[in-house]
Amino acid sequence: MVREIGDRVKALREERGLSQSELAAEAGLARYQVWRVENDERPGVQAVAVGRLAAALHTTSDFLLGLTAESTAPPPLEWRSDRERLLWMQQMIDRLMRLPRARQERVMAAMLALLEVDQVENGQKG
């Protein structure tokens, strides 16, 4: 069962040991805004608030919105602000998007396999 955004925000906040006030401060929101989100009293939460809550909880907006079951955190801020790396990644995505769909799927499957091998080699859980 997909949980509502309020349930997801509250669960992650509690997992991380944050009070509503602490989360609000991290997200640049008022405490009452966090309370309203957690209690589903704010239907149609603004995208900016969702983005700020996701960043403060070290997760993704997609997870909070129930679009994915994985609460994987985005890359660290210093990585996301590395312009050279971002351009390199964009070039890779652009090249991938120009491939026929079947080849895109093969390339992505190969990339995932390589990432799994890397995790095993580094003793990380997959």
The tokens for 102 are: 């079947």
Instruction: Please list, in sequence order, all residues whose beta carbon lies within 8 angstroms of the beta carbon of residue 110, skipping any fewer than 6 positions away.
Output: none
Residue 103 lies in a domain: yes
Residue 43 lies in a domain: yes
Question: What is the model's pLDDT at position 17?
Answer: 92
**Domain identity same for 43 and 15:** yes
Residue 126, CA distances (Å) to 2, 10, 90, 112, 115 in order:
23, 26, 25, 11, 9
CATH number at residue 28: 1.10.260.40
Tens digit of pLDDT for each residue in 12-21?
Answer: 899 889 999 9
Q: Rounded to the nearest 10 degrees, what angle do helices 20-27 and 31-38 cross at?
A: 110
pTM, two decimal places: 0.45
Q: How many domains does the chain have?
A: 2
Residue 70 lies in a domain: no
Question: What is the model's pLDDT at position 63?
Answer: 80
| pLDDT higher than threshold 60 for residue 3 | no
**Domain identity same for 13 and 43:** yes
**Domain identity same for 14 and 59:** yes
Residue reference for tokens 């995505």: 93
Instruction: Please list, in sequence order, all residues whose beta carbon lies within 8 angstroms of the beta carbon of residue 86, skipping any fewer than 6 positions away.
Output: 80
Which domain range does residue 103 map to?
Answer: 77-121
Question: What is the model's pLDDT at position 97?
Answer: 84
The band of 22, judged by pLDDT with boundaries at 50, 70 and 90, is very high
Residue 126 lies in a domain: no
| pLDDT higher than threshold 80 for residue 38 | yes
Tens digit of pLDDT for each residue in 57-116?
Answer: 878 878 877 777 777 665 566 655 677 877 787 788 888 888 898 998 898 889 888 888
Residue 9 lies in a domain: yes
Instruction: Residue 85: name the closest of 97, 75, 100, 71 by CA.
Output: 75
The tokens for 1 are: 């069962």
**Domain identity same for 12 and 56:** yes
